[in-house]
Structure 1
Amino acid sequence: MGKLSLGKCQPIEIDADNPFKNDALGRETNITVLTQFITSFEQSIVLCIDGGWGQGKTTFIKMWQQYLKNLHIPTIYFNAWESDYTDDALIALIGEISLSIKELEFQDKTKAEKIIARIYEYTANLTKVVLPSVTNLSIKALFGCFTNTNELAKALGALSESLVKEQIKKYEKSRKTLSKFKEELSKLAQCYTGGDKQKPLIIFIDELDRCRPDFAIEVLEKAKHLFNVDNIIFVLATDKTQLGHSIRAVYGQGLDVNGYLRRFIDFDYLLPLSNHTYIEYLINKYSLKKYLLKKETHYIDPKSFLENMVDKYNLTLREQEAFCNIFNIIVRTKNDAWFDHWVIFICIFLIILKLKFPDIYKNLENKNNSYSDFLDETIKNIDSHCTSDDINSNCYLELLEFLFLEFLRSLPYIYNSNSLEEVIKKNAKKFNFDVNKIDRLLGIPVRYGDPCISLPILLDIKNSIEISNSFEIN
């Protein structure tokens, strides 16, 4: 059968000459369109690449970064999550820009280094905490050395006035410093781009949604307010939903997150999923076609079933890879005969249930000789993923519901010898089945050759899935 091939979800290798050489998701069109979009601006903008966990955001922006490098457009990559141990996001951003000078292609690096040196100076002034001078009066006040309340009141009043004056001076100084900071930053951008207005400096910020909430907010604020100079474009790669949770953790659950983010993000780009492109790639990578293209008995092939489940359960790219790793272990630890009948369909579904709804999956255990909790939760879960009343849209989900209802009927301590029709009708209210759904479920034996699954087989499938836990995926 060949060597067991397992793999953790890793970013694809990005070829320097052809960034799209190993692109399994057809991202080239998205990247060329986005490049045309961002290079049409002369002023600063913030673009958000919005995608959920495991949807390939990091690979996308690194592929895009290499594409831009090949067009001689300067780029900087900043992993916010790797830098959120610092106390100040501005220091981290400036540090990343400074480190990138050696890698960027432009003529006068000496000039850029001088500009960076001046930016350092202004950054220090912007981040420095100017502590008020502690006078003898304040020391006495702090340590309770005053015995006369009038003397204490006068001392505190003098201290307050001193603090206010010092804060005003600090504010005036920061305004002047900020203006000079932006001026030098604009010069640096021009230095990077060689004065070409069609080639802005692109700063990619990745993993913002994984940062601690206060650091994520600070990065947004600094990017929008301090770096708001011509010819600097920020591209954030983040899960906006998760970022919203972080923001609410700081400002409260009642905050209008979308309204808040509109202050910092000019444009959103929803990272598109590529239908079945990636699962097709993985099926070929792991040589799984022979197990997924059987049609002899069931009138449908498992591959079509799998693709439908990937859509219905919205599997991320990482979840698709995790699925194929588990399935690959199963096919290499079972003989071909094991995949007869409806085993492969239930196997596919249970792996997905394990990845997406592990609490339901764990209920498939022999507790007091009853599986009713698992079956009830599973059927409700399947029904919740039916998107319409269209038989073609939901046919595979309804096939699954039928299989588990048939299994429910086979448990003698629940229904004894009741017919399938009685079982379906008795559970119609519990599962919110309407008349049309009941009729479709009752018609499945005719359409699919009387599908069924037994308890021993169901438990054997689960045990086979659990074997994958013993394998270390490198």
Structure 2
Amino acid sequence: MGKLSLSKCQPIEIDADNPFKNDVLGREENITVLTQFITSFEQSIVLCIDGGWGQGKTTFIKMWQQYLKNQHIPTIYFNAWESDYTDDALIALIGEISLAIDNLSGEAESKAKGLLSIIKDKIRYLIKDGSSKEWLTIVSAIGSFISKGHIKADKIAEFATNLNAALAKDQIEKYEKSKQVLLEFKQALSRLAECYSSNEEKKPLVIFIDELDRCRPDFAIEVLEKAKHLFNVDNIIFVLATDKTQLGHSIRAVYGQGLDVNGYLRRFIDFDYLLPLSNQPYIIYLINKFSLEKYFLKTEKHLGDPKFFLQIIVEKYNLSLREQDAFCNIFNIVVRSNATIYLNEWFFFIFIFLIILKIKFPDIYKNLSNRNISYYYNNSFLYDALKNIHSHHTPNDFVANHYLELLEYLLLEVFEKFRIPILDSVEIIENYVEYFKFDKNKKNRLMGIASSFKDNCVSLPLLLDIKKSIEISNSFKFN
């Protein structure tokens, strides 16, 4: 047995001289286009890189950051999730800019430190004001004394009137001061951004904000507000890497489920860029990384190529990069730890499909058991699995649909032959087509698959053994 190789979806190593050296997803074209886009603006913009969980957003922006550095365009990386323990997003953002000064030298460093000192002085007028909370605490305490009879109510009325007047005057003065401070803050911030550019050509400071969708809702909203309102100055570009769907859930948690999230986000985000999916190149990379090719080569290919089926189903089921990595870890564990594994083509089709269900549709996967093995419209696993497979068919995608229908037939063969061993393929297919109201073309395609299927080893006990083998992966810890 070969050495077992397990891993999580680790960030790829980004080479300083060539950030695309280890890029297996073809991101270079996306990044060069986006660089041209953001540097064409003279004013500040906010660009959102929108991608779902596990689609490689962090790797993408870190690769882009290194590319910009090589183009002598200054950058700052801000992980919002690691900073949401703070009470004020503005302090966290300025803190990251302050840390970046260490990368400067000579006159630029001296000038940047001077401007940063000015900015820090202005921040106290722009951060959250806790004075109101302090006064509320005092008033609450006084209220307690009144209720206990220690202070007469008529005496406190005069105090409350004076207190309200003092608070109102204080807030007005702070508002008037903050307007002037905000102007001075933005001017200093714009000049500070210029310090990070290493040559005479005017280039923007690009601030990458990552993991915004993972922050607590109020902090995520505050980062958006600060980025748009306080940092909306020349020479600064914001790039947000986030799952907008998840970010929308966070916003609704604060403002209510009826909020128009897209309308709300348009107040802060100028442009959206949907991170392109690159499923097939990555699964091929993982097959090579885990040395899985040899297992596919051992199979006969009367029904089709299991490796090609894997590429198709990864795309059809829209597996994220992390999900693809999880798939290959499970696959790798099973084929390396089970010496008696049944290496033929139909086995791999079902094996691959069950791992996909485990990752993407665990509720369907859990229903596969020997407790309920009746006809498919009474069997929750088979019924749900068949509906699930059929829902991934795409019009005119004949090759992919063929492999999906092959999977449908294999599952029908497993359950129907177990229920009534004497049933032939024609009866199985006719019952299936009639129940789901499929057309004649569907029936003919399934009949064609049945005519090519000569292996009588498909059985429900073997299907359950496959699931049992997959469950071995639950005992492994991925480092």
Instruction: Confirm or deny a common fold (TM above 0.5).
Output: yes
Match of 2:312 among 302, 308, 311: 308
Is the 2:372–2:379 Cα contact (8 Å) retained in structure 1?
no
Once the two structures are superposed, the pairs formed by residues 198-213 of structure 1 within 5 Å of their partners are 198-213=202-217
Taking a change above 3 Å as real, the CA distance of residues 219 and 363 of structure 1, as seen in their structure-2 partners, is same
Deviation (angstroms), 1:259: 0.9
Once the two structures are superposed, the pairs formed by residues 142-157 of structure 1 within 5 Å of their partners are 143-144=145-146, 153-157=157-161
Which stretch of the first structure deviates more once superposed, 127-136 or 38-47?
127-136
User: Identity over aligned residues, as a percent?
Assistant: 66
Is the 2:300–2:344 Cα contact (8 Å) retained in structure 1?
no
Is the 2:303–2:346 Cα contact (8 Å) retained in structure 1?
no
Is the 1:201–1:233 Cα contact (8 Å) retained in structure 2?
yes
Question: Which whole-Å CA distance do the structure 2 matches of 1:51 and 1:11 have between them?
Answer: 16
Question: Which whole-Å CA distance do the structure 1 matches of 2:361 and 2:220 have between them?
Answer: 29
Q: Give the residue type in structure 2 aligned to 1:240.
A: K
Question: Which whole-Å CA distance do the structure 2 matches of 1:7 and 1:404 have between them?
Answer: 31
Question: Which whole-Å CA distance do the structure 2 matches of 1:57 and 1:137 have between them?
Answer: 48
Taking a change above 3 Å as real, the CA distance of residues 9 and 469 of structure 1, as seen in their structure-2 partners, is same
Q: Indicate the residue corresponding to 2:241 in structure 1.
A: 237
Which stretch of the first structure deviates more once superposed, 101-110 or 216-225?
101-110
Is the 2:335–2:341 Cα contact (8 Å) retained in structure 1?
no
Question: Which whole-Å CA distance do the structure 2 matches of 1:99 and 1:355 have between them?
Answer: 40
Q: Indicate the residue corresponding to 2:117 in structure 1.
A: 117
Q: Indicate the residue corresponding to 2:229 in structure 1.
A: 225
Does structure 1 residue 44 correspond to structure 2 residue 44?
yes
Q: Indicate the residue corresponding to 1:439 in structure 2.
A: 444
Q: Indicate the residue corresponding to 2:274 in structure 1.
A: 270
Which stretch of the first structure deviates more once superposed, 297-306 or 159-168?
159-168
Question: Which whole-Å CA distance do the structure 1 matches of 2:141 and 2:282 have between them?
Answer: 67
Is the 2:415–2:459 Cα contact (8 Å) retained in structure 1?
no
Q: Give the residue type in structure 2 aligned to 1:404.
A: L
SS where residue 23 of structure 1 aligns?
coil
Q: Indicate the residue corresponding to 1:385 in structure 2.
A: 392
Does structure 1 residue 466 correspond to structure 2 residue 471?
yes
Q: Indicate the residue corresponding to 2:461 in structure 1.
A: 456
Q: Give the residue type in structure 2 aligned to 1:459.
A: L
Q: Give the residue type in structure 1 aligned to 2:145.
A: F
Deviation (angstroms), 1:269: 0.9
Q: Give the residue type in structure 1 aligned to 2:280.
A: H
SS where residue 268 of structure 1 aligns?
strand
Q: Give the residue type in structure 2 aligned to 1:98.
A: S
SS where residue 47 of structure 1 aligns?
strand
Deviation (angstroms), 1:230: 0.3
| CA offset digits 1:344-389 (Å, max 9, x no partner) | 1111111111111111111112326669221111111111212236
Q: Indicate the residue corresponding to 1:26 in structure 2.
A: 26
Q: Indicate the residue corresponding to 2:252 in structure 1.
A: 248
SS where residue 126 of structure 2 aligns?
helix
Return the TM-score normalized by structure 1.
Answer: 0.92
SS where residue 202 of structure 1 aligns?
strand
Is the 2:212–2:242 Cα contact (8 Å) retained in structure 1?
yes
Taking a change above 3 Å as real, the CA distance of residues 258 and 135 of structure 1, as seen in their structure-2 partners, is closer
Q: Give the residue type in structure 1 aligned to 2:395.
A: S
Deviation (angstroms), 1:23: 0.9
| CA offset digits 1:364-418 (Å, max 9, x no partner) | 1232666922111111111121223654341111111111111221232xx5744
Match of 1:182 among 158, 183, 186: 186
Question: Which whole-Å CA distance do the structure 2 matches of 1:172 and 1:195 have between them?
Answer: 38
Taking a change above 3 Å as real, the CA distance of residues 128 and 457 of structure 1, as seen in their structure-2 partners, is closer
Q: Give the residue type in structure 1 aligned to 2:81.
A: W
Q: Give the residue type in structure 1 aligned to 2:12.
A: I
Question: Which whole-Å CA distance do the structure 1 matches of 2:139 and 2:244 have between them?
Answer: 50
Question: Which whole-Å CA distance do the structure 2 matches of 1:74 and 1:297 have between them?
Answer: 54
Does structure 1 residue 91 correspond to structure 2 residue 85?
no
Which stretch of the first structure deviates more once superposed, 70-79 or 137-146?
137-146
Deviation (angstroms), 1:332: 1.5
Deviation (angstroms), 1:303: 0.9
| CA offset digits 1:252-291 (Å, max 9, x no partner) | 1111111111111111111112241111111111111122
Deviation (angstroms), 1:442: 2.8
Question: Which whole-Å CA distance do the structure 1 matches of 2:359 and 2:138 have between them?
Answer: 65
Question: Which whole-Å CA distance do the structure 2 matches of 1:405 and 1:106 have between them?
Answer: 74
Q: Indicate the residue corresponding to 1:59 in structure 2.
A: 59
Q: Give the residue type in structure 2 aligned to 1:15.
A: D
SS where residue 269 of structure 1 aligns?
strand
Is the 1:379–1:431 Cα contact (8 Å) retained in structure 2?
no
Deviation (angstroms), 1:469: 2.1
Question: Which whole-Å CA distance do the structure 1 matches of 2:230 and 2:312 have between them?
Answer: 47
Q: Indicate the residue corresponding to 1:333 in structure 2.
A: 337
Question: Which whole-Å CA distance do the structure 2 matches of 1:74 and 1:5 have between them?
Answer: 39
Is the 1:50–1:238 Cα contact (8 Å) retained in structure 2?
yes
Q: Indicate the residue corresponding to 2:291 in structure 1.
A: 287
| CA offset digits 1:165-223 (Å, max 9, x no partner) | 22211211111111111111011011112575642101000011111111111000000
Q: Give the residue type in structure 2 aligned to 1:316.
A: S
Question: Which whole-Å CA distance do the structure 2 matches of 1:24 and 1:332 have between them?
Answer: 25
Deviation (angstroms), 1:446: 2.3
Question: Which whole-Å CA distance do the structure 1 matches of 2:91 and 2:398 have between them?
Answer: 57
Is the 1:190–1:196 Cα contact (8 Å) retained in structure 2?
no
Which stretch of the first structure deviates more once superposed, 110-119 or 441-450?
441-450
Question: Which whole-Å CA distance do the structure 1 matches of 2:433 and 2:93 have between them?
Answer: 58
Q: How many residues matched?
A: 472
Is the 2:367–2:380 Cα contact (8 Å) retained in structure 1?
yes
Deviation (angstroms), 1:96: 0.9
Q: Give the residue type in structure 2 aligned to 1:405.
A: L
Is the 1:403–1:452 Cα contact (8 Å) retained in structure 2?
no
Is the 1:343–1:457 Cα contact (8 Å) retained in structure 2?
no
Which stretch of the first structure deviates more once superposed, 459-468 or 226-235?
459-468
Question: Which whole-Å CA distance do the structure 1 matches of 2:445 and 2:25 have between them?
Answer: 36
Is the 1:403–1:451 Cα contact (8 Å) retained in structure 2?
no
Taking a change above 3 Å as real, the CA distance of residues 277 and 136 of structure 1, as seen in their structure-2 partners, is closer
Question: Which whole-Å CA distance do the structure 2 matches of 1:154 and 1:421 have between them?
Answer: 93
Deviation (angstroms), 1:299: 4.0
Q: Indicate the residue corresponding to 1:407 in structure 2.
A: 414
Q: Give the residue type in structure 1 aligned to 2:477.
A: E
Question: Which whole-Å CA distance do the structure 2 matches of 1:137 and 1:100 have between them?
Answer: 43
Deviation (angstroms), 1:334: 3.3
- Give the superposed CA RMSD: 2.7
Taking a change above 3 Å as real, the CA distance of residues 12 and 150 of structure 1, as seen in their structure-2 partners, is same
Question: Which whole-Å CA distance do the structure 2 matches of 1:11 and 1:245 have between them?
Answer: 27
